[in-house]
Structure 1
Amino acid sequence: MTQPNRKQAAPCGTWTSPISAAVVAAGATPLSQVALDGADVLWLAGRASEAGRTTLQRWRAGETTDTAAELTPAPFNVRTRVHEYGGGAYAVDKGTVWFSHFADNHLYQAEAGGEPVMITKEEAVRYADFVPDRARNRLVAVREDHLAGEAYPVNTICAVGFDGSETILVDGNDFYAAPRLSPDGRQLAWLCWDHPRMPWQGTELWVADILEDGTLVDGRLIAGGMDESICQPEWSPGGLLHFVSDRSGWWNLYRFEDGLVHPLCPREAEFGGPHWSFGGSMYGFRSSEEIICTYIEDGVSRLGRLSTHGCTLTPIATPYEEIRELRVSPQAVAVLAGSPTIAVELALIDPESGKRTILVQSSANLPHVDYLSVPRSIRYRSANGRTAYAFHYAPANKDFEPQPGELPPLIVIGHGGPTSMATSTLKLATQFWTSRGYAVLDVNYGGSTGFGRAYRDLLKGQWGVIDVEDCVAGARYLAEQGLADPERLLIRGSSAGGLTTLCALTFHDVFKAGASYYGVSDLAGLDADSHKFESHYNDYLIAPKPAAEQIYRERSPIHHTDALKRPMIFFQGLDDKVVPPQQSETMVDALRRRGVPVAYMTLEGEGHGFRKADSVVRTLEAELAFYLRVFGIPAPQGLPSVEIENLVQ
């Protein structure tokens, strides 16, 4: 018997949802940087309620899944700012942990059950991606020296003795990453690259022998160069060096043996990712003969077992569509992963049976599935016949449906990076919108990772063009399909996605309003204020200087505010060192003077990305109130108002 339709017809955007801004802020615990110590599992967990503090957790094998112990109680904040994006903020070995404390950038050592003890002495020096060298009583780490008095810090690879002494092991390059000791402790591998390249353009993999006194000798180039990106070098238990290279056009696995580089599993899939932060891992060794790996095909992650010599890849079934991190030891396989109905979680996987044991979830109390929108992966034609990719989320709420004949408003998201990618993992921040009657299109525009180097390089010299065209084409495609209201198309983005948002609203007439989170508005200003890691990024994205001056001006929305007539809301952390507040403030002032409807919210104590629960709540509610006012829809009771200058209704 057919059940009666109990849904209430109501204007899209006004639906009542249990996914409040407070639920978004409190319900997701950021999880990152998984590590294994034998069969024990460690990870970092964010504490939004503690001003975004990050703490180190440990679960011991054999215990119940709810017995994780905090190893770094307040005020310790396990983060590093090397390259500004950090990562690789701790290491563990046989119960001892070493970590970077964000407040002072010093390294601390903590024995099992003991209080952390500071071991470094230098001020204004940062460390990341460190590995224990027990035989020599030291850590080998990437070092970033801000004391030298140079315009930019000096990066090296150093040895930090457990007594606090320091020795520079490798220098001369602009950037270093992934120092990795061979199992016998006699060799060190590392990655390096120089300006103007970013690590996903060209890196080098080097190996050197370690002398008895701990210094290096006989350094030799193994792979890489100006147009080959290498990532995640790892030694097998038998002492063979493995790494990921995109020399075939895809980030695939390789082994270095007898002076030659051997491909392990040629495939049109990505076994690596862009080096934005330290310590990423997409494969590891169960033994010298078996690798457990994750790889991305068509934007979706898969898990597999790979024979190191037979080159046979056997899939391992999991419910996940995104695997952010994978850690492997002979005793355990751990993944940080999610899917459209699973928020990011940390789980142990049995490679033989595929059985998973969930250790911790980023969102323990998820809304009922009937309030969740499950995205579908779409591809569509963009400018000049290109194919673009995206995830489309239809509005979903078990209590409401659109009014007869109503099409939902659409929010198009341009991801940050821009050398990054959108994934389909459950995000309450997206469901906040879909459960209120908005459709969402999360775009993997040309330049996104996960689709091979040729797709990634589409953005070369075309930032602010290709990304914008693909967002515009996606909005038009859904409107033509009858899946979105062409008169209520919105666009939002953060960081690089903020530039995409501003360019779409400035140079195209498809979108009716937009939201920029710490977005780029002035490319020349971005260069002037940029930190070392990204100081030449625009050489790739726009054009090498000084030839880029005219193109910078053509692409920068700040120079074309006369063409931007759509309402905008800006959100900016006042401590942002990646995209400084001036980028937002200059744009807001220009729109204010021109009489364009504009709202601006600043957040003290926030940097590039908002970590505090209060910040998440304030920005989401303000953005919702902004859209409702722009479209003339009455705001629901209890929603804080937002001041919009120049808005006449």
Structure 2
Amino acid sequence: MEAPYGSWPSPISGEVVARDPGWPYSGLVADHGALYWIEARSHEDGRDVVVADGVDAIPAGASARTRVHEYGGGAYTVHAGTVYFCDDADQRVYATRDGVPVPLTPAPPHKHGVRYADLQVTPDGRTLICVRERDGDPEHINDLVAFPTDGSAPPVVLAEGHDFYSSPRISPDGSRLAWLVWDHPRMPWEGTELHVAELKEGLSLFKKRLVAGGADEAIVQPAWSPDGVLHYSSDRTGWWNLYRESGTVVTALEAEVGGPLWVFGESYYDFLDDGRIVLTYFSAGADHLAVVERDGTLRDIALDCTRIVDLTADGRRALFVGASPTRSLRVYALDVDDGGLETLSPDADELVPEPYVSVPRALEFPTTGGKTAHAIFYPPHHPEYEGPPDERPPLVVRIHGGPTAHVSSILRPEIQFFTSRGIAVVDVNYGGSTGYGREYRDRLRGTWGIVDTDDAVNCARHLAQSGEVDGARMTITGGSAGGWTVLCALTQYPDVFACGADYYGVAELTAFVDDTHKFESRYFDYLIGPFDEAAWTERSPLTHADKIRVPVIVLQGDEDKVVPPAQSEVIVAALERNGIDHEYIVFSGEQHGFRKADSLRRAAEAELAFYGRVLGFDVHR
């Protein structure tokens, strides 16, 4: 059936988008034959629930979420069947005893004033070691602490003096501790240091020494093999690869066995009982699973998953969260020898019916300076509708946050929400994105707002020039750092996009750096350069807001501490002064990234309605 692009009726409604928590499963932990994970529940006010083999392992109302670095991660661990978790309500650490949460850390002096993350329990079960973050002036104080798992004493400091700590990992015999540190102005993907020390009774360290890393080497995921050998991933060759403590190379790929340390607890490899290592690496726009055999050779395992995260093992099987372009995220167990794949998470019906799925393709396109950039393109698709032969579809250019991050080709209802209505979508892995090596990642060093903007514009132009989309009906959308790129594109290239959607984006740098949290307070040294008021003001989209000529919709959470509401308010005020058509929607109770079902629904419906009004197509909800 023929109908104008953008107007096709679709079963993928705003309600469907709201039922998709974005990343429903994370944080896999294997313990005594049971597998635990975090389940994100947008329909329960965005609660994060620890489940054991699919059964809730924390009480109703509790939410296992930490606010350390604001992005969190590593909010729980399990030892001998006891779940230890940070409750989002007060950020204290609790232990579940007979199904009842018992607090182990003192009540903070004020709400969320002390936070904990990256929880680890010593092998004897007596001590818990973790990262602690406390409110301070002029900035928060981060350190490593330890405290007894029976809650009988307050935390004691194991390591302090650096700006940031991460990844405390205890050797199998409990005698040693490894951890990561870094200091301002570095971000962890610029350079970290891996330290190790002897651990005495779980409560003190001695004989501390540096193992690897530095200002120009980013270390991620230290981990101990069952026989007590420390491993880690380093980007010293320009690609994150796996090494032993001695410096021995385990993998030598032009691919990424690792990623940016935005959240705590991410895992890219683990050990099998027989000495082999199972790992995941990112290459050519997709994740791959492989095994390092006992002779050191790397054996790829064929899977149709294009995204593999939170990889762990139970001694003989690989356990991970995986997804593909046609199947949403699931928790899987894989026998690495016979290839047997078992789904462990609930086998719920797909939110996107298979006939409506737009299958993406990896895209390379020319960009500024004769370079090549990357994207993932989703053409419009509907089993019953097609567009008129003389019409090309509208295009939504999606810009990921971070900006040190990347997107993969997985099934996302928020994308299919548009493609099933006849709107093309392209996810841009602009220069600065991870997954393509350090050189590609460092393209954004000092050029944020330039390289990312050029790549977004050149991607859109490439698709228009190739006849895939209507060059007169292109829009750009993004959140956080992606919102910054949206605003930069609308000010620097005012004639390319017909409108834009800014989700909690950065608009003005000098005010932002005073308002944002500690973790990213010096990020701009990398992205822009050391503080220079004139240079930062010139780079800020707000300075050039008078060049915006097209309608803009702005969406913002009122509790966002990463990009505070003031950033959206100043750009909205500028649009108002300049007489630019705009909409501004504030979401109550939302932080950085929307989590509540009603917010997700409202945001999707508002963005679609805005595009329909501006681009001239009838919207079918």
Bin for the TM-score computed over the shorter chain = over 0.9
What is the Cα deviation at residue 367 of structure 1? 3.0
**Is the 1:571–1:600 contact (alpha carbons within 8 Å) kept by the matching residues of 2?**
yes
Superposition map of 1:223-622 within 5 A: 223-256=212-245, 260-287=246-273, 289-307=275-293, 310-360=295-345, 364-508=349-493, 509-545=495-531, 548-622=532-606
1:362/1:427 CA distance change after superposition, 3 Å: farther
**Is the 1:506–1:560 contact (alpha carbons within 8 Å) kept by the matching residues of 2?**
yes
What is the Cα deviation at residue 524 of structure 1? 1.4
AA matched with 2:472: E
**Is the 1:86–1:278 contact (alpha carbons within 8 Å) kept by the matching residues of 2?**
yes
What is the Cα deviation at residue 528 of structure 1? 1.3
- Work out whether 1:119 is the aligned partner of 2:104: yes
Aligned to 1:171: 160
**Is the 2:498–2:615 contact (alpha carbons within 8 Å) kept by the matching residues of 1?**
no
**Is the 2:123–2:172 contact (alpha carbons within 8 Å) kept by the matching residues of 1?**
no
Instruction: List alignment gaps of at least 5 residues for structure 1.
Output: 1-7, 60-67, 640-649
**Is the 1:31–1:362 contact (alpha carbons within 8 Å) kept by the matching residues of 2?**
no
Secondary structure of 1:515 counterpart: strand
Aligned to 2:18: 25
What is the Cα deviation at residue 50 of structure 1? 1.4
Equivalent-residue separation in structure 1 for 2:60 and 2:573 (angstroms) = 40
1:145/1:16 CA distance change after superposition, 3 Å: same
- Work out whether 1:58 is the aligned partner of 2:43: no
What is the Cα deviation at residue 150 of structure 1? 1.8
What is the Cα deviation at residue 318 of structure 1? 1.3
What is the Cα deviation at residue 90 of structure 1? 0.3
Equivalent-residue separation in structure 2 for 1:141 and 1:213 (angstroms) = 11
Equivalent-residue separation in structure 2 for 1:403 and 1:362 (angstroms) = 38
Secondary structure of 2:168 counterpart: strand
Aligned to 2:608: 624
**Is the 1:160–1:167 contact (alpha carbons within 8 Å) kept by the matching residues of 2?**
yes
Aligned to 1:5: none
What is the Cα deviation at residue 631 of structure 1? 2.1
What is the Cα deviation at residue 404 of structure 1? 2.4
What is the Cα deviation at residue 108 of structure 1? 0.5
What is the Cα deviation at residue 370 of structure 1? 1.8
What is the Cα deviation at residue 621 of structure 1? 0.7
Aligned to 1:150: 137
Secondary structure of 1:9 counterpart: coil
Equivalent-residue separation in structure 2 for 1:529 and 1:513 (angstroms) = 28
**Is the 1:56–1:71 contact (alpha carbons within 8 Å) kept by the matching residues of 2?**
yes
Secondary structure of 2:184 counterpart: coil
Secondary structure of 1:504 counterpart: helix
What is the Cα deviation at residue 452 of structure 1? 0.5
Equivalent-residue separation in structure 1 for 2:334 and 2:293 (angstroms) = 18
Equivalent-residue separation in structure 2 for 1:378 and 1:38 (angstroms) = 44
What is the Cα deviation at residue 135 of structure 1? 3.1
Equivalent-residue separation in structure 2 for 1:576 and 1:212 (angstroms) = 40
**Is the 1:343–1:362 contact (alpha carbons within 8 Å) kept by the matching residues of 2?**
no
Secondary structure of 1:23 counterpart: helix
Pick one of 117, 122, 146 that aligns with 1:159.
146
Secondary structure of 1:80 counterpart: coil
Aligned to 1:100: 86
376-385 or 163-172, larger mean C-alpha shift: 163-172
1:340/1:635 CA distance change after superposition, 3 Å: closer
What is the Cα deviation at residue 78 of structure 1? 0.5
Pick one of 3, 9, 16 that aligns with 1:10.
3
1:362/1:251 CA distance change after superposition, 3 Å: farther
AA matched with 1:478: L
Instruction: List alignment gaps of at least 5 residues for structure 2.
Output: none
**Is the 1:238–1:288 contact (alpha carbons within 8 Å) kept by the matching residues of 2?**
no
Pick one of 182, 186, 208 that aligns with 1:219.
208
Equivalent-residue separation in structure 2 for 1:216 and 1:561 (angstroms) = 53
**Is the 2:283–2:436 contact (alpha carbons within 8 Å) kept by the matching residues of 1?**
yes
- Work out whether 1:35 is the aligned partner of 2:29: yes
**Is the 2:17–2:604 contact (alpha carbons within 8 Å) kept by the matching residues of 1?**
no
Equivalent-residue separation in structure 2 for 1:572 and 1:406 (angstroms) = 34
Pick one of 43, 68, 71 that aligns with 1:49.
43
1:58/1:611 CA distance change after superposition, 3 Å: same
1:489/1:238 CA distance change after superposition, 3 Å: same
Aligned alpha-carbon RMSD (Å): 1.4
Equivalent-residue separation in structure 1 for 2:154 and 2:316 (angstroms) = 34
AA matched with 1:198: M
Secondary structure of 1:401 counterpart: coil
Q: Deviations over 1:44-71 (max 9, x none)?
A: 1111111111111001xxxxxxxx2101
Equivalent-residue separation in structure 2 for 1:534 and 1:107 (angstroms) = 25
Equivalent-residue separation in structure 1 for 2:231 and 2:615 (angstroms) = 55
Equivalent-residue separation in structure 1 for 2:125 and 2:368 (angstroms) = 58
Aligned to 1:188: 177
Give the number of aligned pairs. 613
Aligned to 1:64: none
Equivalent-residue separation in structure 2 for 1:361 and 1:448 (angstroms) = 32
Secondary structure of 1:190 counterpart: strand
What is the Cα deviation at residue 635 of structure 1? 3.8
**Is the 2:127–2:202 contact (alpha carbons within 8 Å) kept by the matching residues of 1?**
no
**Is the 1:293–1:304 contact (alpha carbons within 8 Å) kept by the matching residues of 2?**
yes
**Is the 1:591–1:597 contact (alpha carbons within 8 Å) kept by the matching residues of 2?**
yes
- Work out whether 1:131 is the aligned partner of 2:125: no
Equivalent-residue separation in structure 1 for 2:242 and 2:347 (angstroms) = 30
- Work out whether 1:210 is the aligned partner of 2:199: yes
What is the Cα deviation at residue 287 of structure 1? 2.8
**Is the 2:49–2:56 contact (alpha carbons within 8 Å) kept by the matching residues of 1?**
yes
Equivalent-residue separation in structure 1 for 2:45 and 2:352 (angstroms) = 25
Equivalent-residue separation in structure 1 for 2:130 and 2:30 (angstroms) = 19
**Is the 2:77–2:119 contact (alpha carbons within 8 Å) kept by the matching residues of 1?**
yes
What is the Cα deviation at residue 133 of structure 1? 1.5
AA matched with 1:412: V
**Is the 1:27–1:365 contact (alpha carbons within 8 Å) kept by the matching residues of 2?**
no
**Is the 2:352–2:413 contact (alpha carbons within 8 Å) kept by the matching residues of 1?**
no
What is the Cα deviation at residue 77 of structure 1? 0.7
Identity %: 47
